[in-house]
Amino acid sequence: MIISINDKPCEGHVGEVLLKVAQLNKSHIGCICGGNGICQSCFVYVKEGSECLSPPGLEEKAFISDKLFKEGGRLACRSVIVKEGTIKVLSRAEYLRRIVLGLKVQEFITYAKTIGYNVTNKLPDGAGNLFNRVKAGTVSPGDSLKKIGSGLAYGSLLASTTFMETFPFMQYPVSILTEGVKGVFKSAAEVVCNVTGECLQLPGTDTSCCGINKTPVTRIGQDI
């Protein structure tokens, strides 16, 4: 079936997670925590076809306010396609990009307030949910850090590529930015390596981005 993600037609199947569909079709939905239901960077607005997705689970209820639910808000990493039908979603990142490109200042301010309100109000629930998952052993802090590193690398590189495609005349400065992103990521990876005890590797490179641990090597940017 075809799923519209940010107005891009994407091939998806019943049983697949929405975030995975986006990644397989190179359509941008954020995934900083690597699909662990922690970061909310995969937040999307479901414009059509909410009945084709699994109902919101505990993680989504902990992190998303009633207001955002009413607007169609979901976490793409927690939304599974459960039946065939028309599904159209718009990622928060793309929504913001459109506001910024359209220079819609008032809309941006209103949106920032909504998100600020949501984050502030759901912080206790979200933190409680995370604490319970760590306590139950369903989320490992070390593994989560590793996934956050993976998601940051994937998201940063995709963001810089998208930016370059949107503003081709900025190619030279953006190539510097990409190098900068890699530099920042390398530093972050060293922290992650220290915590997880594993050796991480940047996508598109043969060499490890951290000199701390030797084996096993985990390739950053791998599928969730």
Nearer to ligand FES, 36 or 65 (CB): 36
Instruction: Find the binder of ligand FES among 12, 35, 149, 155 (CB under 6 A).
Output: 35
User: What's the sign of the alpha-carbon dihedral 33, 36, 38, 42?
Assistant: positive
Is residue 77 within the footprint of ligand FES (CB under 6 A)?
yes
Nearer to ligand FES, 42 or 157 (CB): 42
Measured CA distances, 12 to 20, 45, 50, 60, 91 (Å)? 9, 17, 15, 22, 16
Is residue 33 within the footprint of ligand FES (CB under 6 A)?
yes
Beta strands at 199-201 and 217-219: parallel, antiparallel or unpaired: parallel
Is residue 153 within the footprint of ligand FES (CB under 6 A)?
no
Q: Which stretch binds ligand FES (CB under 6 A): 34-42, 86-94, 95-103, 161-169?
A: 34-42
Nearer to ligand FES, 99 or 152 (CB): 152
Nearest partner of 29 among 67, 76, 70, judged by Cα: 76
Is residue 39 within the footprint of ligand FES (CB under 6 A)?
yes
Q: Facing residues of 90 across strands?
A: 45
Nearer to ligand FES, 36 or 129 (CB): 36
Q: Whole-number minimum distance, CB 102 to ligand FES, in Å?
A: 26
32 close to 41: Cβ distance less than 8 angstroms: yes
Instruction: Find the binder of ligand FES among 22, 44, 64, 75 (CB under 6 A).
Output: 75
Residues 6+ apart with CB under 8 A from 193: 199, 200, 210, 212, 213
29 close to 22: Cβ distance less than 8 angstroms: yes
Q: Which residues bind ligand FES (CB under 6 A)?
A: 31-33, 35-42, 75, 77
